[in-house]
Structure 1
Amino acid sequence: MAKSPHLVLVLCLCFSQLISLEANDQTSSGFTQVSLSQSNFELQRPYDKSPRERYSFNNGVHRLWVYSTDKPHTPTSHTEPRTEIRIRGHDYSSGVWQFEGEAYIPRGTSGATVMQIFGGSSRATTIMLHVYDGELAVYKRSERLLSNMYNRWFKVNVIHDVGASNVKVYIDGVFRYEGSGAGGRYHYFKFGVYAQDASSHRMESRWRGIRVLTKN
């Protein structure tokens, strides 16, 4: 006997809810949220620009942008232009830590890091999430996480188990990536835009609902 369209819809909804609950369990089970205030958000921007020229915070949304022709964040730095928020007060060297936030990348942004865990011995970072031509990837397109991601909000969860040297990424509650860490004595989270190879002239990301969680 054929199932009614109504029954099929109910079954699909129930299945989607089960998947969502399972993903939430994997990203929240055993974790404790740490306290964050505006003082924990340190803005890094081109050193010759005022904060309001590259950053705004309205209605709970961090909006960060930078141009490929901008200067680095300090006069002595030889890195590419960036407008990033470095989460202060929660650097870590052990335990399991998680970054959570919702991101929005406007169409046209390409060749930019939008989130990273700083700290490593084999390289400077544990992980970097790059945007290239509408795709979100780990580093330079080595592991694609999300396609067609322009002009919409999506949720990002990045979990770093220091002792196990393990990193996991969930996008919209779906497990997308697992890889090894890169060593290092201490780590911290960053989000925003940081120019990479073949960057667009203007790069922007928006973030809301930022949380940091941990279990030791």
Structure 2
Amino acid sequence: MASKIVVLSLLYFLLISYQAIGSRPVDPTAGFTSLPLDQSNFDVQWPYNMHENQRYSFENGIRRMWVYSNDKPHFPTSHTRPRTEIRIHGYDYSSGVWQFEGHGYVPTGTSGVCIMQVFGATGHATTLMLRVYNGDLYYFSDEVIAKNIYDRWFRLNVIHDVDAGKLHVYIDGAMVYEADGRGGDFHYFKCGVYEQDNGSHYMESRWKGIKVLKKM
């Protein structure tokens, strides 16, 4: 009986150890090359009737973007909802394996808003939207992929394998979602705040350490 207890205890220990190892964060950027970025790569979009500094700031390495639900769109003839976003310029792509990395922060109260997207698709505007609703991060509005993201910095990595038609989303080094691609002839990355369904009156996100990487 004693030997059986010892064996069961050992098996339990091995199971817990295996689970702990399997749940350790990984480095999603392994095997990727970080591409050079400077200020010219950060194309800021904001409501057309405002000055940039009324909806965007860049201080101490942190890019802060905010918008109100009654703001104007990005340009006068647009019928889209209000946004303040960074469009990563200079790294549009149509094939290969690409990655966005950034450390994001969403303050309490921001809801009904897209904070990151992979632009470009067939039959849609975007291949991927990561939205915040009531403190949880969603794939579009369909499924929760990370809970309780308010008021903390989180590391976001989005990998887009165009040829395989797959996307993988990592939060703090753990893969939290896999999605199919949506086709399209060109893509680029965006982050910030872009009002979606049931948007809060005030929406804000902050970003630092933004990188674009490619598998060579």
Task: Report if TM-score (shorter chain) is over 0.5.
Answer: yes
Distance 2:32 2:175 in 1: 17
CA spacing shift, 1:18–1:198, aligned 2, 3 Å: closer
1:190 — aligned with what? Answer: 190
Aligned-partner Cα distance in 2 for 1:45–1:157: 24
1:76-111: per-residue Cα shift (whole Å, max 9, x none)?
Answer: 100000000000000000100000001000000000
Instruction: Write the letter of the residue equivalent to 1:128.
Output: M
In structure 2, the residue matched to 1:4 is none
The SS at the match of 1:28 is coil
Give the Cα separation in 1 of the matches to 2:31 and 2:153: 26
Deviations 1:173-209 (A, max 9, x none): 1111111111000000000000001000000000001
Equivalent in the alignment of 2:163: 163
Listed one character per residue, the Cα deviations across residues 45-83 of structure 1 (whole Å, up to 9, x for unaligned) are 000110100000011000000000000001110000000
User: When the two structures are aligned, how many residues end up with a matched partner?
Assistant: 202
Q: Percent identity?
A: 56
Pairing of 1:118-157 with structure 2 (within 5 A): 118-140=119-141, 142-157=142-157
The equivalent residue for 1:211 is 211
- Does residue 19 (structure 1) correspond to residue 24 (structure 2)? The answer is yes
Letter in 2 for 1:41: F
2:82 counterpart residue number: 81
**Is 1:57–2:58 an aligned residue pair?**
yes
CA drift of 1:29 comes to 2.3
Q: Where does residue 113 of structure 1 map in the other structure?
A: 114
Q: 1:18 to 1:166 in 2, by over 3 A?
A: closer
SS of aligned partner of 1:164: coil
1:5 alignment counterpart: none
Confirm or deny: 8 A CA contact 1:145 1:171 kept in the other structure: no
Shift of 1:17: 10
Per-residue deviation, 1:16 = 6.6
Tell me the C-alpha RMSD between the 2 structures. Answer: 1.8
Gap runs ≥5 in structure 1: 2-7
**Separation in 2 of the partners of 1:149 and 1:187?**
26
CA distance in 1, matches of 2:208, 2:119: 20
Q: CA deviation at 1:143?
A: 2.2
| TM-score, normalised by the number of residues in structure 1 | 0.89
Larger radius of gyration: 2
